[in-house]
Structure 1
Amino acid sequence: MIRLLTQADHEHVMALVSDKPAENLFIIGDIEAYGYDAEIQQLWGQFEEDTLIAILLRYDRNFIPYSKRDFYDVDGFADIILQHDGDFELSGLLEVVAPLKEKFQFKTYRDSTLYYAKCEKLAYDTEQRDYSNVTTLQPHEYEENIDMLKSIPEFVHGAFSIEVRKREAKNNTGRTYILRNDEDVMVASASTTAENSQSAMIVSVGTNPPYKRKGYATICMEKLCSDMFKTGRTLCLFYDNPEAGRIYKRLGFEDIGYWSMTRYNRG
């Protein structure tokens, strides 16, 4: 049986998703931010007797399914998604999303699969590391940081904006650490997004191009990760570049699967 979920189901929902806070980063964060009654968001659950075994979250036009089991009611979830008009996005762990993708024959204008990694502690001791040049990004530095990130080839088309920085700071859903050198040049930064009470996503790890290969981004990441672990959160990230993956793994990140993102154009 599939039905809409309400606040009364919250305990069952969290029991399903909380044992994998990295894998369910977006679901947990959206529930904490918007609950079960917001117009922009809905959640459905599949039950076997009184046990919740799978959920489907809609945030705006993005749908994320999750199930611990190897099977769930794929046809039922597909029918729910098809009840919503217009273009939509389907994202989630590849093994959960893959059978759903087979139900949609629409044109896609993005279909990507990324490595998904998580970290619960750094792989080495950083107690003696000097982080005096690492600071949290301040509002008067937003534009400088965005300009630095857009100077990095892989971020040139990134959706960075001052408005997003302000919103994340206001809602406590993201933070950015920066590193300045002795000449006061911003040489690296690393950020979180989608922070919730249990997990957070690492994004926008980059080095000012003239200052690459000096370990600056690693220092930013060490400080950011260390501070986040002190709050009890699990960290996760996407990557598609094996070289970047090796850097993250040296820090202590481990691959936990693949994340699929597909945008469908219903014409």
Structure 2
Amino acid sequence: MIRRLTAQDHEAVMALVQPKAAENVFLIGDIEAYGYDDAIQTIWGEFEGEALIAVLLRYDSNYIPYATGTFNVDAFGQIIMQHEGPFEVSGLAHLVKPIIAQIDCAIIQQKDTYYAACYALAYEPNDSNLQAVERLTAADYAEEVEMLLSIPEFKHAQISVAARQRAAQYKTGRTYIMRQDGQIVASASTTAENSQSAMIVGVGTKPGYTRQGYATYCMEKLCRELLAEGKSLCLFYDNPAAGKIYKRLGFEDIGMWTMVRYTDNH
């Protein structure tokens, strides 16, 4: 049986997703931030008897499934196909790919990235290297956003002052920066922060200041702080060179993440 979930199902939902907090960073974060009644999202659950075995979350136009075993792929696909307007399906590849095989709609974009998690740093950072790392404050939002957008790989990223403001307001993200020559030259951020986990994003160094360890220092301080709070960390990467850097910190691959964007199916 599949039905829409309510706040009364919260305990069962958390019992399903929390054991894999890194894999479910978006699910946990969205549920903690918006609950079960906000118009921005809807959550469905599949039950086997009284046991919740799978969930499908819609946040705005993005659908994310999660299950620990087999689930009703056809039914989840049918729910998604009822969406009006362009939509997106994303999640762990082994869960998403069976669903997208059921969706008869034109694909705008499909992307597969490595998904990695960290539960402890592989080494203890050198505190002397981190003395110059500081937490980003509102006064520097614009400069930090401009710095990231100057990096070729972030040229088309959805990074903005408004996003930094929302992250601070809802406590869904934080950023650490380094300065050199009186300017911000590197940063590392989180998004989708929740009580259990956080996603690392926006790790970058301003052109002309690369290969000096600045972004790594930001990562070290950010990760150490989050891990001390008892949170699992995760991130996406599609560059093997970047993957080696993250793995030196203690990240391990936990799967592939698939994202598919579709046109309006009506």
When the two structures are superposed, what TM-score results if normalisation uses the length of structure 1?
0.97
Counterpart of 2:38, as a letter, is A
Task: Write the letter of the residue equivalent to 1:159.
Answer: Q
Amino acid at match of 1:246: K
Cα shift at 1:127: 5.2
Aligned residues: 265
* Structure 2 stretches lacking a partner, 5+ long: none
Bigger CA drift: 241-250 or 124-133? 124-133
C-alpha displacement of 1:14? 0.3
SS at 1:130's partner residue? helix
Q: Is residue 2:65 matched to residue 1:65?
A: yes
Deviation digits for residues 55-98 of structure 1 (CA, Å, limit 9, x no counterpart): 111111111110000x2101111111122222111000000011
Match of residue 217, structure 1, among 211, 215, 218: 215
SS at match of 1:210: coil
C-alpha distance in 1 between matches for 2:128 and 2:139: 27
Q: CA RMSD in A?
A: 1.1
Q: Do residues 169 (structure 1) and 168 (structure 2) align? A: yes
Q: In the TM superposition, what are the counterparts of 1:34-45 in structure 2 within 5 Å?
A: 34-45=34-45
2:18 paired residue number: 18
Paired residue type of 1:6: T
Report SS of the residue matched to 1:125: coil
2:48 corresponds to = 48
Letter in 2 for 1:53: I
Q: Which amino acid aligns with 2:191?
A: T
Distance 1:177 1:128, change over 3 A: closer
**Which residue type is aligned with residue 117 of structure 2?**
K
| Long gaps (5+) in structure 1 | none
Counterpart residue type for residue 85 of structure 1: E
- For each residue in 1:200-254, what CA deviation from the matched residue of structure 2 results, as whole angstroms up to 9, or x when unmatched? 0000100111011011111110001001111111110001101100000000000
Q: Return the alpha-carbon distance in structure 2 between the equivalents of residues 131 and 11 of structure 1.
A: 40
- For residue 250 of structure 2, what is the amino acid of its counterpart? G
After TM superposition, the score normalised by the length of structure 2 is: 0.97
Question: Partner residue of 2:178?
Answer: 179
Question: 1:128: how far off?
Answer: 4.1
Letter in 2 for 1:80: I
Q: Following the alignment from structure 1 to structure 2, what is the Cα–Cα distance between the partners of residues 223 and 204? A: 14
The aligned residue for residue 207 of structure 1 is 205
Give per-residue Cα distances to partners, 1:129-187, cap 9 Å, x unaligned: 43221101111111111111111111111111111111111111111100113x33322
Match of 1:113 in 2: 112
Letter in 2 for 1:73: N
Matches of 1:256 and 1:207, distance apart in 2: 26
Question: 1:139 maps to what in 2?
Answer: 138
Distance 1:143 1:78 in 2: 41
Question: Matched residues in 1 for 2:227 and 2:264: separation?
Answer: 42
Deviations 1:22-81 (A, max 9, x none): 100010011101111111111111111111100111111111110000x21011111111
Structure 1 residue runs of 4 or more that deviate by more than 4 Å after TM superposition? none
Out of 242, 245, 257, the residue aligned to residue 243 of structure 2 is 245
